[in-house]
């Protein structure tokens, strides 16, 4: 991606305990995004949230949850995100997927071999 460009932000809201063939779903999503050559992905772990079933998931000490909210964020060019969506759809059984336009201000990396 070039600097100062239009892009899309793909967000995947899932639970920490969600699995895909026995593996954490958030890890599989990131690995598939990398395999597709997308610009990058980040996993964020929530401390509190609820989804479609309205059950509260929290990290509070007195109410331990093994299913905290997880958000996978992926930013890339719209056509690259569009190509990835069918793969993502095959991975996600339940959760929320959103897409929005963003403006990339800078995207830099070091040139290591």
The tens digit of pLDDT for each residue in 7-23 reads 999 999 999 999 999 99
Whether residue 113 lies inside any domain: the answer is no
Find the CATH number of the domain harbouring 88: 3.30.70.120
Reading the block at residue 76, the tokens are 């890339």
Residue 33 placed within a domain? yes
Tell me the mean pLDDT in the region 71-95. Answer: 97
**Rounded to two decimals, what is the model's pTM?**
0.84
Pick the closest to residue 12 from 22, 34, 27 (CA basis). 27
Domain count, the chain: 1
pLDDT value at residue 78? 97
Range of the domain at 47: 5-104
Give the residue, 110 or 20, on which the prediction is more confident.
20
Residue 22's DSSP bridge partners are none
């Amino acid at each position: 991606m070039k600097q100062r460009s239009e892009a899309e932000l793909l967000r995947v809201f899932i639970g920490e305990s969600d699995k895909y063939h026995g593996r954490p779903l958030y890890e599989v999503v990131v690995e598939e995004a990398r395999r597709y050559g997308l610009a990058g992905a980040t996993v964020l772990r929530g401390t509190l949230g609820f989804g479609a079933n309205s059950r509260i998931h929290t990290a509070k000490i007195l109410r331990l949850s093994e299913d905290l909210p997880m958000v996978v964020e992926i930013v890339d060019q719209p056509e690259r995100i569009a190509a990835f969506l069918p793969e993502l759809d095959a991975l996600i059984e339940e959760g929320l997927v959103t897409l929005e336009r963003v403006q990339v201000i800078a995207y830099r990396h070091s040139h290591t071999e």
